[in-house]
Structure 1
């Protein structure tokens, strides 16, 4: 099953600095497909403990935008995770797919070169698997679409290397072979672990010489396909990653096949129609107060009418963690200590998290006059 991620490097007693950025050097830019690249980031020895990560976590990259604005985007780490009790990674690799009109992805494809420096937030995210905590003879599976392979590549590689008794089944959907990210890396996993790594590839716009017929991985297709591949309800944990439609359909298919909700973990990379956040006017009247705990320090500040809790905190704590501000990445996850909030959108938190009292600060608005949230939980 997915497990909580350590909130501070091993051996450290200080709280995690969730929104901390460091300048890392780009060691390599590798072309994966026509519309995707992999960036390898060198991590200096003194920062390696900061960048210890669990398989499946992501990095937020930052650059300056027009008129002093910031552009932040989150990209999953595709390289295997280092040992949790080790010194930390000497390098990190992320995959970036070009998005039409995407400010950062266009920058990554056209401008970033080896030797450049990027602002990189410390790893975050709970779409993770701890190989050490996996039960004996664990059998995991993933359903991914497009760039959704990125975190799952790290998860599968880390698990199979650390646990000789574990198995992993990967069902991936792509448009064509030419558009498939990390084709060689996945093939290498199949060659290295032929008896423990099962790979099923479905192309939506291209017929394969062997394998399954072309077509999308719809709910109906998955409901028929999955039982033919593996004992669906006996799988230790399912990881769903990719566009919203694929993840939603896969989750419904698994539910129809009798898979318990607690065994399904999902991360959405793209949601059509994500609304741009509308900042509250500087002269807007205040409506209540928010108390926020972040990196061991607390403060209380007014909340303007129409303002999200995240934006209210950011006006006073620029280090508050966030990336997409669209309710997708989960970087701004916080626990509601007291008060009541309304969350507009949620494509990042699982049901057990919201039931436990966690919210996305970027999508949360105060309902009661006083609200207290904790980013450190």
Structure 2
């Protein structure tokens, strides 16, 4: 993916909220204005995300949100759904308004089509492989629709021979985000977009569209609602358990893993956000039981000693000496903290963001990586 590979490291810039649109009783769409001088920084591909940063209750808070609109000059659109107990999501739904300013990281992420990549630089660009008939299949649950909606808009607009089948799962009709936008897309592309709304807590006329999106439901759709053997590319977005189930079932149905793109909103596992030098202090072991961590960032080399007893991640250690080290989710999901291992060895606990070829090339998620020896050198600029 040349467009993604050539992108410089993501950085935060202050952006002003220009519009807040209610989507449901528990979700909003937020439009952020991008000034002309930052246009290149916020050029993006459908399916990518941005990280937001602000201060709440005296602490820095970072959250990642997928861009829900096809590439549009001068703005970024995201959707924020309330999470039970979620500090940022509830604050945003209750308080965010036009004129507010948020720190927004430039777009990143690899949840994009391998067949039809479009960008602000060339909104009508079509990858060589996308010329001709292309069939896509997408599964989304809840707020997982946000990147799926952007991808759907892009592939249908960029290729007149592209067809999209979308399965969207929610608890009830009132929970369906972007319901009018999806209906408008269906009206615009009546013969090229098929939409299947599944509701788990409401009875629908069709048994296929009633109930949870589980293994049994998926198997009932295979060969009836869609034929997996003719699908060129699959997109899965939602909570960890659902995405993993879909991947397993597709694999069992003979779908090649290289045709499946997926993104997780949560891993289902609690994670502690990096604290840098906040909270319990970590200091080098005076007796010499330390790991020497060297890292390149913005052309500068940094070093930090991490006591072996602390079992710090590379990210946490680096944050103790440079607060601008990139990260967003800290759960191995977003890939913002990606770096290449130059020397030494690391053990990576979780990885839901890097492709196998990236791992083979030496890339790691620093939020999940721990040095295995006495020294390690990583490059965030690579």
Query: If the length of structure 2 is used for normalisation, what is the TM-score?
Result: 0.89
How many residue pairs were aligned? 361
> Counterparts of 2:66 and 2:215 in 1: how far apart (Å)?
25
Instruction: Please say if residues 29 and 40 of structure 1, whose CA atoms lie closer than 8 Å, have aligned partners that are also in contact.
Output: yes
The answer to whether the 8 Å contact 1:341/1:365 transfers is yes
- How far did residue 352 of structure 1 move? 3.7
Equivalent residue for 1:17? Answer: 9
1:361 is aligned, of 360, 366, 375, to 366
1:222-233 superposed matches below 5 A:
222-233=218-229
Deviation at 1:211, TM superposition (A): 7.0
Given that 2:130 and 2:159 are in contact with CA atoms closer than 8 Å, whether structure 1 keeps it comes out as no
Distance, in Å, in 2 between the alignment partners of 1:150 and 1:235 is 21
In structure 2, the partner of 1:288 is 291
Q: How does 1:1-377 map to 2 (within 5 A)?
A: 3=1, 5-7=3-5, 16-18=8-10, 20-67=11-58, 69-82=59-72, 89-129=73-113, 130-131=117-118, 132-133=126-127, 134-136=129-131, 137-209=133-205, 212-277=208-273, 281-283=281-283, 285=285, 287-304=290-307, 305-377=310-382
Q: 32-41 or 324-333, which moves further after superposition?
A: 324-333
CA–CA distance in structure 2, aligned partners of residues 120 and 177 of structure 1: 31
Residue pair 1:148, 1:241 contacting (<8 A) in 2 also: yes
Quick check: 1:290–1:371 contact (8 Å CA) kept in 2? yes
Three-state SS of the structure 1 residue aligned to 2:264 is: strand
Q: C-alpha distance in 2, partners of 1:266/1:357?
A: 21
Secondary structure of the corresponding residue to residue 224 of structure 2: helix
Unaligned runs of 5+ in 2: 119-125
For the 8 Å contact 2:271–2:330, the answer to whether it is kept is no
Question: What residue is the counterpart of 1:85 in the other structure?
Answer: none
Cα-Cα RMSD: 1.9
State TM-score, norm by structure 1. 0.90
Provide the secondary structure at the position in 2 that maps to 1:41: strand
Tell me the distance in 1 between the aligned counterparts of 2:381 and 2:160: 35
Q: CA 1:190 to 1:373, structure 2 compared with 1: closer, same or farther past 3 Å?
A: same
Instruction: State how far apart, in whole Å, the 2-side matches of 1:152 and 1:287 are.
Output: 45
Please say if residues 238 and 263 of structure 2, whose CA atoms lie closer than 8 Å, have aligned partners that are also in contact.
yes
Counterpart CA distance in 2 for 1:327 and 1:356 is 18
Superposition deviation, residue 210 in structure 1: 5.0
Shift of 1:294: 2.6
